């Protein structure tokens, strides 16, 4: 009975498509739901919103902080490049100066803020010179917290929190100075610190390796946990990748925004009487490893740790302070 009402032209599902495709067309996967499409939705949303990255550079004058930032982003992003003066005097106290740029690459927009700290380490007495920097970092956390606890808060809170602090170590070749140890010991608790040996081309390869090993030993001896922090590794794969990075810290870097022609190739480098030091050549320096860490492989992780670890610790502490100031009896519950 049922066979009599079937049309003669009906194609079995195994031969034709689900929506009338011709026989021999693509086979439809009936088990496909489409959950993986969320990745494309997230990508489109992120492309529309853009990204924010706030990098602080700390180190005494003359270590090439501005040059390295220009080299990292291959554009004039440093404060000195934009607000150049005929002759910049060393400030008597530490100043915090930031400048923001909108950068776009292959349709991806990013608001980059570079925070400079002129005056750090340049005084005869550098006691407590880390305090203005610590205050600035906490002020950004406080500004974000106040926006977050507003009743009518913004749809997207502007993020001025410092995601990463690049600390420039002078290329002495011996050991860390007490100033270096004290700064990193205190600041590593509130921000992601990435230490670098500035102007590493002034050291021989043997001196560089010895200096790097000595610095790692001093960091461990003083309980200084620089980025990537071991305790925040998410899984075995992360641990394996981050261990390789931790073995290279501090990065011995050379910065340059000058282009030169070498063997028919245009590249960034520093020209000397003996040849050209290629900034992005890992045989010459470790700039490429630093760039990959900050931009190509760990940028989102750096921001996540800032938000979920450093800012969260500040937020909990501040809310606990407020709770101790305002006793429970003072809370008005008449609205319930």
How far, in Å, CA of 69 to CA of 75, rounded? Answer: 8
Q: Is residue 268 part of a domain?
A: no
How far, in Å, CA of 87 to CA of 93, rounded? Answer: 17
pTM greater than 0.75: yes
Query: Looking at the predicted structure, is the pLDDT value of residue 126 above 90?
Result: no
Q: Is residue 111 part of a domain?
A: yes
Name the DSSP class of 228: S
Q: Is residue 83 part of a domain?
A: no
Q: Is residue 34 part of a domain?
A: no
Q: Is residue 233 part of a domain?
A: yes
Give tens-digit pLDDT for 203-254. Answer: 999 999 999 999 999 999 999 999 999 988 888 999 999 999 999 999 999 9
Q: Is residue 42 part of a domain?
A: no
Q: How many domains does the chain have?
A: 1
The continuous run of DSSP H or E covering 303 comes out as: helix 299-305
Kindly state the tokens that stand for 86. Answer: 């005929």
Q: Is residue 327 part of a domain?
A: no
Mean confidence (pLDDT) of the chain? 86
Looking at residue 59, which CATH number applies to its domain? Answer: 3.40.50.300
Instruction: Please give the distance of CA 11 from its chain centroid, rounded to a whole number.
Output: 58
* Residues 18-45 as b or e (16 or more Cβ within 10 Å = b): eeeeeeeeeeeeeeeeeeeeeeeeeeee
pLDDT of amino acid 76? 84
Confidence of residue 18 (pLDDT cuts 50, 70, 90): very low
Q: Is residue 22 part of a domain?
A: no
Kindly state the tokens that stand for 159. Answer: 């993020």
Instruction: For tokens 């909108």, name the residue.
Output: 102
Question: Once rounded to an integer, what is the mean pLDDT over residues 141-167?
Answer: 94
Query: Looking at the predicted structure, is the pLDDT value of residue 15 above 70?
Result: no
Residue predicted with more confidence, 44 or 146: 146
Instruction: For tokens 């956390």, name the residue.
Output: 141
Instruction: Determine the structural domain holding residue 99 and report its residue range.
Output: 49-78+90-253+283-320
Kindly state the tokens that stand for 268. Answer: 């960034």
Kindly state the tokens that stand for 203. Answer: 């050291």
């Amino acid at each position: 009975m049922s066979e009599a009402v079937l049309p003669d032209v009906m194609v079995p599902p195994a031969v034709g498509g689900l929506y009338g495709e011709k026989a021999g067309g693509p086979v439809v996967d009936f088990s496909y739901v489409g959950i993986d499409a969320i990745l494309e939705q997230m990508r489109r949303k992120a492309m529309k919103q853009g990204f924010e990255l706030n990098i602080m550079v700390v180190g005494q004058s003359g270590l090439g902080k501005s040059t390295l930032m220009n080299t990292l982003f291959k554009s004039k992003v440093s404060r000195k490049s934009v607000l150049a003066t005929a002759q910049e005097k060393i400030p008597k106290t530490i100043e915090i100066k930031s400048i923001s740029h909108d950068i776009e690459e292959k349709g991806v927009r990013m608001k980059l803020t570079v925070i400079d700290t002129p005056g750090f380490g340049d005084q005869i007495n550098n006691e407590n010179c880390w305090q203005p920097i610590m205050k600035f970092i906490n002020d950004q956390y406080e500004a974000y917290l106040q926006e977050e606890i507003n009743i009518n808060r913004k749809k997207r809170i502007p993020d001025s929190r410092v995601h990463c602090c690049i600390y420039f170590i002078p290329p002495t070749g011996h050991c860390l100075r007490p100033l270096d140890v004290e700064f990193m010991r205190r600041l590593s608790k509130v921000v992601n610190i990435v230490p670098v040996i500035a102007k590493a081309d002034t050291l021989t390869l043997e001196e560089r390796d010895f200096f790097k090993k000595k610095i790692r030993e001093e960091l461990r001896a003083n309980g200084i946990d620089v980025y990537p922090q071991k305790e925040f590794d998410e899984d075995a794969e992360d641990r394996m990748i981050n261990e390789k990075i931790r073995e290279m810290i501090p990065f011995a870097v050379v910065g340059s925004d000058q282009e030169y022609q070498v063997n028919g190739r245009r590249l960034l480098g520093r020209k000397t009487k003996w040849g050209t030091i290629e900034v992005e050549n890992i045989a010459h320096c470790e700039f490429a490893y630093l760039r990959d860490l900050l931009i190509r492989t760990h940028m989102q992780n750096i921001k996540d740790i800032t938000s979920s670890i450093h800012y969260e610790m500040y937020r909990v502490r501040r809310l606990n302070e407020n709770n101790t100031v305002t006793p429970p009896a003072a809370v008005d519950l008449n609205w319930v």
